[in-house]
């Protein structure tokens, strides 16, 4: 059994190490509200007051964050263009991304709400980050008893466009060891698919929509979507 003084020294050392590696510096101090920076009309798209129910982004009471609700701000809107195309937009922003509290991947949200999800592979969106690099994300098809959806999304954590949960965890750990707390956002669009729809055409339209949306946003808002 260790002497009492060694136990005390070990405890103090553990506290000191924890204080050193605990991230304290927020990458974003005062993010704007999504509703104020996401335009309701841009290009050929205009917000459509819609009865369509989107696949939910888990929520708790106002102001709370938890493993089930890692978001400080969310936005869910439906848009329509003159051709009658309808796209559902969902944004979910969290100022503090940590190992236990981070942006949820749509694959998990859809499955949790009764959908079977098929991964249609990675995609490069027609949007460049400030370094001039294209943004990468994924395409999914979700199917339930009630409907079928084409889904496109990207997840940004700090300056990383995450390709998977492990990559997100490693990035958050590295930032934490440097004392930084990265922010993060889920950018998701979806469309209800009908029997004769061309799924590839739906995906291309969604990617075009997100490119136009990012370019139409003010700089402070665009910085939430891309960095």
Question: C-alpha 24: how far from its chain's center?
Answer: 22
Token pair of 198, please? 């061309």
Average pLDDT estimate for 202-207: 97
Q: For all residues of the chain together, what is the average pLDDT? A: 81
Average pLDDT estimate for 144-151: 95
Straight-line distance from the first to the last Cα atom of the chain, in angstroms, rounded to the nearest whole number: 52
Comparing C-alpha atoms, which of 223, 182, 205 is closest to residue 37? 223
pLDDT tens readout for residues 86-130: 999 999 998 766 654 457 789 988 998 899 999 999 999 999 888
pLDDT at 203: 98
pLDDT at 175: 67
pLDDT tens readout for residues 57-76: 653 444 444 445 668 899 99
* Contact status, residue 74 vs residue 38, Cβ threshold 8 Å: no
- pLDDT > 90: percent of the chain: 51
Strand partners, 88: 78, 190
Token pair of 4, please? 């009492």
Q: Among 77-81, 93-97, 219-223, which range has the highest average pLDDT?
A: 77-81
pLDDT tens readout for residues 186-197: 999 999 999 999
Q: Spell out the SS3 assignment of the chain.
A: CCCHHHHHHHHHHHHHHHHHHCCCEECCCCCCCHHHHCCCEECCEEECCCCCCCCCCCCCCCCCCCCCCCCCEEEEEEEECCCCCEEEEEEEEECCCCCCCCCCCHHHHHHHCCCEEEEEEEEEEEEECCCCCEEEEEEEEEECCCCEEEEEEEEEECCEECCCHHHHHHHHHHHHHCCEECCEEEEEEEEECCCCCCHHHHHHHHHHHHHHHHHHCCHHHHHHHCC
Pairing label, strands 116-128, 180-181: unpaired
Question: Among 45-54, 102-111, 145-154, 168-177, where is mean pLDDT lowest?
Answer: 168-177
pLDDT at 207: 96
155: pLDDT strictly greater than 50: yes
pLDDT at 27: 61
Question: C-alpha 158: how far from its chain's center?
Answer: 11
pLDDT at 84: 94
């Amino acid at each position: 059994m260790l002497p009492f003084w060694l136990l005390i020294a070990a405890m103090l050392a553990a506290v000191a190490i924890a204080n050193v590696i605990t991230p304290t510096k927020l990458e974003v101090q005062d993010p704007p509200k999504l509703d104020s920076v996401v335009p309701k009309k841009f290009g050929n798209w205009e917000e459509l007051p819609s009865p369509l129910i989107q696949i939910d982004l888990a929520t708790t009471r106002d102001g709370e964050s938890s493993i089930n609700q890692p978001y400080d701000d969310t936005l869910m809107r439906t848009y329509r263009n003159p051709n009658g195309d309808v796209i559902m937009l969902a944004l979910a922003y969290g100022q503090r991304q940590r190992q236990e509290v981070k942006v949820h991947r749509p694959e998990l949200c859809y499955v949790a709400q009764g959908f079977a999800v098929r991964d249609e592979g990675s995609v490069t969106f027609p949007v460049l980050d400030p370094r001039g690099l294209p943004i990468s994300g994924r395409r999914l098809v979700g199917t339930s008893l009630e409907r079928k959806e084409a889904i496109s999304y990207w997840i940004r954590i700090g300056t990383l466009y995450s390709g998977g949960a492990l990559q997100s965890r490693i990035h958050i750990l590295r930032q934490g060891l440097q004392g930084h707390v990265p922010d993060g956002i889920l950018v998701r669009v979806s469309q209800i698919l009908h029997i004769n729809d061309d799924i590839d055409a739906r995906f291309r339209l969604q990617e075009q929509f997100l490119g136009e949306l990012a370019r139409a946003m003010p700089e402070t808002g665009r910085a939430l979507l891309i960095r």
